[in-house]
Chain A
């Protein structure tokens, strides 16, 4: 994992993690699991809404195919963190690339709770944004 973040730096970019948990929970998380890039909190989820990230439904979240993928993720990251009651578990995530001026250059809004783009896709988007000439 560490190598993948270094690859983002080599591609000319940086990363930022946004969570909906309150700052105190984020700080506690970072003590347990330090990250090689900054992380910020948005308990209001205003930024989630601005980026067009929706909530899923319990019905969609409980599809057998997703439950199997969940179980794989849980066992891969054992022991799992327990729900803290401060976050909306139906909120979907996503990945975006902004260029140096803050313009949105890549959009990936998760279609379901386990849907994320591949690392190669993200690295390609960062490289493309780095190669893009600044606009007048």
Chain B
């Protein structure tokens, strides 16, 4: 289900550059600009 304005988005799991999983919520505490890149190359 697509997130909408006002929805909470903290429970997504991502991977750090070393491969370790990390929750999006780990980056919260301040307003967070999340930039989704199309692709690296």
Chain A positions near chain B (C-beta within 8 angstroms): 8, 11-21, 23-27, 29-30, 38-43, 46-53, 80-84, 87-89, 91-105, 107, 110, 113, 122, 125-126, 129-130
Contacts and interface: CB of A to CB of B under 8 A. Distances in A.
Contacts of B19: 23-24
29 contacts: A12-B31, A13-B33, A15-B32, A15-B33, A15-B35, A16-B32, A17-B37, A18-B34, A18-B37, A19-B37, A19-B40, A21-B40, A24-B19, A41-B16, A47-B36, A48-B36, A51-B2, A51-B36, A88-B39, A89-B38, A91-B39, A95-B34, A95-B35, A97-B32, A101-B10, A101-B28, A102-B25, A113-B38, A129-B31
A97 B2 contact: no
Interface string B6-22: 11111011111111001
Contacts of B7: 103-104
Interface residues of B, number: 36
Contact of B40 (A26, A51, A126): A26
Contacts of A93: 35-38
Contacts of A46: 12-13
A84 B33 contact: no
Classify the interface of chain A: helix, strand, loop or mixed: mixed
Nearest to B41: A81
A72 B28 CA distance: 35
Contact of B31 (A88, A94, A105, A107): A105
A30 B17 CA distance: 9
A97 B31 contact: yes
A50 B36 CA distance: 12
